[in-house]
A and B are shown apart, each in its own frame.
Chain A
Amino acid sequence: MFDVPWSDYAPALWKGLQLTVLYTVLGFAGAAVFGLLLALLRLSKSRILRVPAALYTEIFKNIPLLAIIFIIYFGLASVGIKLGAIAAGSLSLILFYAAYLSETFRAAIAGVHAGQQEAAEALGLGRISTFQLVIFPQALRLALPGTNTFLVDLLKSTSLLVTISAAELMSVGRLITSATFRALEVYLVIAAIYFCLCYPLSQGLLWLERKVRAGIPLTPRRRRRFKRAAVLLEQEGVLV
């Protein structure tokens, strides 16, 4: 059944897995930052900011990721802009997923009740504090489910980078196949590794969503604050 000498390929697979994680982290972090920027531009009052952001989103949502990868890696190289696989791969993922994430973020920010902005202003919070302390945390909660879906989707999409020999898991799989000619076995193992990455990730994110929805404090600072408040309030309870 198992004809591939897997122990020989373990170091190569390990390297590939690390690169898959690297592409995922770089791609997602970049896409989240760029996507948030796009969302803010699209919510701006100024048309000059809004229109280009909307145009960008529509264009990149309607082009296949593979086409973007080819344009960035092969296309740009043909006019003298040569990017390495890591740079080209991450950039492609960022450009593509930022468009989708910006839609999720925009809906989430717009979904925060208008009264929240007003209440924050009435308490003397400035524009930045209002966004940082009131709007953003609520938008993040609303955006969490959609964002999590895109994160898992992005991880799986890193496999498309096999086309530019990005040395991630799928590329390693192709190398092993060309050496052993056991395509079914190799790709089943590669698929299993993807599953072992994606399933715990999506379950972990669901767990995080539930925690956040239940209002359980996640940062140490907020946990300390909860503890102190509970102690103070308990003393109140005795006095009441």
Chain B
Amino acid sequence: MTVPANEAAEAIAHVEAIAHERLAADAPEVVVRIENLSKSFDGRLVLDNVHLEVHKSNIVAIIGQSGSGKTTLMRCVNLLEIPERADMEVAGEKIFSGDQLLCKDLAKLRQTVGMVFQRFNLFPHLTAVENIMLAQLRAGVPEEEAMERAVGLLRRVRLAHRGMAYPDNMSGGEQQRVAIARALALQPSVLLFDEPTSALDPESTGEVLRVMRELARDGMTMVLVTHEVPFARDVADWVVFVDGGHIVEEGEPAEVLRRPSHKRTQAFLANFQASH
């Protein structure tokens, strides 16, 4: 039996197309891709040719000493810090290439990337609900919808009863949970956390970590700079240890945190265990 050549070619193309689709579906979707990232402050190199990938629904924990460059690394993702050199892609959009800023619309990038700060940085002149509504209204979400979403998010962080409170009248843990709700309001593809619990007492820390665990369970993609080594061990899918502007070690938490291979990581974790 002979098959016309053109039909055979079509069939092969079809099979290939299916296989390709499969492959694309199996390959993890990369939400943040950072390559060759370098950054210096006043001539001091704080990030030296760093590479990092964050896959969808993964939680990447960045650990390291103060001044290691870990916070700067994270702040480059939403361009709060502008890199000197980098090839970066966020949610499928190229935002930086070489020494060129490609991102035309910073506002749109920052709606895609939510951020939670160490010191909460809620707007003190606005109530919890208004804090969560502000960016939505700015982005053109109608008032009614923005408010419903804000109330829904408050329920998600278990603070619906505090909706009309001002930040100054809330505990640190409550403020940080409102800050998480605020960062979620524009339905970002990835959330950045900059040491979200280091300004909190143990009880508040517990409340905030609980909310973060739930987000992780719901499949939120997260990058977090943290001192909470036990939390990183429990929740993170990938741990990155930064030292002197380099990623000196990265891998699954079980590997990096239990059997660190690099001397600097061993020293950092030994110090951490000694002090906790």
Contacts and interface: CB of A to CB of B under 8 A. Distances in A.
Nearest to A230: B164
Interface string B110-121: 110011010101
Given A118-B117, A133-B134, A237-B160, A123 B127 contact: no
A57 B124 CA distance: 30
A240 B138 contact: no
A133 B135 CA distance: 10
B24 to A, nearest CB: 30
A35 to B, nearest CB: 21
B138 A125 contact: yes
Given A123-B134, A138-B124, A215 B160 contact: no
Interface string B147-167: 110110011000011011010
Interface in A118-137: 118-126, 129, 133-134, 137
A124 B183 CA distance: 11
A118 to B, nearest CB: 7
Contact of A229 (B115, B124, B129): B129
Contacts of A228: 144, 147
B108 A124 contact: yes
Interface in A130-155: 133-134, 137-138, 141
B139 interface: yes
B143 A124 contact: no
Contact of B125 (A115, A141, A232, A233): A141
Given A124-B107, A133-B138, A119 B121 contact: yes
Nearest to A136: B125
Contacts of A232: 147-148, 151
B119 A115 contact: yes
Interface in A83-105: none
B123 A233 contact: no
A225 interface: yes
Contacts of B115: 119, 122
B97 to A, nearest CB: 22
A123 B146 CA distance: 14
Nearest to B107: A124
A82 interface: no
B12 interface: no
A236 interface: yes
Contacts of A230: 164
A124 B127 contact: no
Contacts of A122: 78, 80, 110, 114-115, 117, 183
A15 interface: no
Nearest to B78: A122
B15 interface: no
B57 to A, nearest CB: 22
Interface in A191-240: 215, 225-226, 228-230, 232-233, 236-237, 240
Contact of B155 (A113, A120, A236): A236
B182 interface: yes
A185 B124 CA distance: 51
A239 to B, nearest CB: 8
Contacts of A215: 125, 127, 166
Nearest to B169: A215
A225 to B, nearest CB: 7
Closest 5 CB pairs of A and B: A119-B121, A124-B110, A123-B135, A236-B160, A124-B107
16 contacts: A113-B121, A116-B123, A118-B80, A123-B134, A123-B183, A124-B108, A124-B135, A124-B186, A129-B138, A138-B123, A138-B125, A215-B166, A229-B150, A232-B147, A233-B129, A240-B160
